[in-house]
Chains A and B, each alone.
Chain A
């Protein structure tokens, strides 16, 4: 069977710096995959390469069998890759509902006339968008804040708004860039439960960057470890946890006494 997302031999240079080297990835429908590695290993770069922010220097990328190399970010997003960001990237002064609605931009088809005159098509679509947005906000526990401007929300909630916005694009695969970064323990548990719930409800594949081992180990079926732009280990959480190379990369080599 053809994997949902396939990356083959992807390499990327920033000037003379090789940020990603010979990277391979294959994610099946509905799979939850993790990507770990020390700071600066190139994890976010890989996200940016696959989502079209950067164009890889070399390599093949295919979503559902169709090549996505060289496509614009908005095209790749419309084809089914949704994402959140390591640092909060919300649109200050827009409400939660507006965030989620704009996530559905490529699905809104009514035009100017509809927007100004309120055609039946607009009303039908608006009702649909609203209902869909409501469902996503419920799933991410942000529905209480639908009409609140995002800057006025606590940090943990803002991160969930980002998730809801990404879900609104109806991704086949969801990229989460450190979804629990900067969260307190309570927010962290909430977020993990929400990610689980989202996965159960919507069933899309998830590709997750995380720093906290507990989160990756709990959520992911398979994990890749990236160091200096190269995958040094790939496997089930248990294998990764006990892999000496991974332990070295994270904790430093054990010095013999």
Chain B
């Protein structure tokens, strides 16, 4: 039992990253019906922005002008980086996707891949090939209850992720923009005719998705402090799988599927050697999708519905 709980906690942490990233895929898809394939690289960019913000805050704190405890630096890093990374998302929408509105879907997909490569190689050109080490902001403490050990960072990561998801949920349920996001998921064509600007909503979903990816990037940096320009590729793909598994455009589905992915990966790794972890984990997911091609909360969209 203790063994199970131990892995459950690990899976929750691992799944948090996927869930936060998958939300960005899902939100953009629900509004514009396109998958932003640069999203994994926005996660990477967010992580790097977090690295610089944290380093800056540490330096500032070290000068003694404003001495800050580690947790405060981390909190500020998350908030500032989310804010800054949202502009990366907005830029991607403006430069990459908006000119292609109305173009065939494949063009947008290819644009996404290209933006991804630009972000990766841009990072490489700017910062060089050496990896960055995310600074230690909070001292790791381990608590042990009934044979289950939990670190404070794990608790923090899961708690921050859940808090962000709750905030997103409230945003979607309670604000007029959230209501427009939901409406666009059902019928894109009608929304502007009710006085809602599609571009505003599109920008908003890119900004929110990117901010969540940045949060994931920083939390990831706290747990696994090595950053490299290509860290977003595999992570992005896996989170994309979570978004599909949750049901295209379903925010709740994306979050749940993100966690499910974490669980499957962690529990597969218990039984099998880690070299075959992804092979088996993603075969299981393929099997799930065979029986539920629209994912858990997805609907069979008809093409006609979108004009």
Contacts and interface: CB of A to CB of B under 8 A. Distances in A.
Contacts of B176: 102, 105, 108, 115
Contacts of A78: 195
B289 interface: no
Interface string B174-217: 11100110110111011011111110000000000000000000
Nearest to B175: A115
A85 interface: yes
Given A92-B186, A116-B170, A106 B195 contact: yes
B192 A102 contact: no
Contact of A89 (B180, B187, B192, B197): B187
Nearest to A88: B187
A98 B192 contact: no
A101 B175 contact: no
Interface string A110-128: 0010011000000000000
Interface stretch (A69-77, A195-203, A240-248): A69-77
B171 A101 contact: no
A13 interface: no
Contacts of A77: 192-195
A74 to B, nearest CB: 4
Given A53-B193, A77-B195, A94 B175 contact: no
A72 B192 contact: yes
Chain A interface, >50% SS class: helix
A116 B170 CA distance: 7
Contacts of B167: 116
Contacts of B189: 53, 89
A93 B195 contact: no
Nearest to A99: B183
Contacts of B174: 115-116
Interface residues of B, number: 22
A72 B170 CA distance: 29
Nearest to B299: A92
Contacts, number: 75
A140 B84 CA distance: 46
A83 interface: yes
Contact of A51 (B182, B185, B193, B198): B193
A102 B197 contact: no
Contacts of A106: 195-196
Interface centre among B182, B193, B197 (most CB of A within 10 A): B193
Contacts of A112: 171, 175
Interface centre among B183, B194, B196, B197 (most CB of A within 10 A): B194
A89 B175 contact: no
A102 B180 contact: yes
Interface in A158-172: 165-166, 168-169
A90 interface: yes
A47 B167 CA distance: 40
B296 to A, nearest CB: 15
Interface residues on chain A, size class: 20 to 34
Interface centre among A106, A115, A166 (most CB of B within 10 A): A115
A74 B198 contact: yes
Nearest to A170: B195
A165 B167 CA distance: 28
A102 B186 contact: no
Contacts of B185: 91
Nearest to B167: A116
Nearest to A116: B170
A52 B183 CA distance: 20
Contacts of B170: 115-116
Contacts of B197: 72, 74-75
Contacts of A92: 186
B195 A105 contact: yes
Contacts of B198: 74
Given A93-B186, A115-B174, A116-B170, A73 B179 contact: no
Contact of B196 (A85, A89, A105, A166): A105
B44 to A, nearest CB: 27
A52 B191 CA distance: 13
Contact of A91 (B171, B183, B192): B183
Contact of A94 (B183, B192, B193, B196): B183
A115 B186 contact: no
Interface string A44-84: 00000001110000000000000000001111011000010
A112 to B, nearest CB: 7
14 contacts: A72-B192, A73-B192, A74-B196, A92-B186, A101-B179, A103-B195, A105-B179, A105-B194, A115-B170, A115-B171, A115-B175, A116-B171, A165-B194, A169-B195
| CB-based closest 10 A-B pairs | A91-B186, A106-B195, A73-B192, A77-B195, A74-B192, A115-B175, A78-B195, A108-B176, A91-B183, A74-B197
Given A78-B195, A103-B194, 14 more contacts: A72-B192, A74-B197, A74-B198, A77-B193, A89-B187, A90-B187, A92-B186, A93-B186, A94-B179, A94-B186, A105-B194, A105-B195, A108-B176, A116-B170
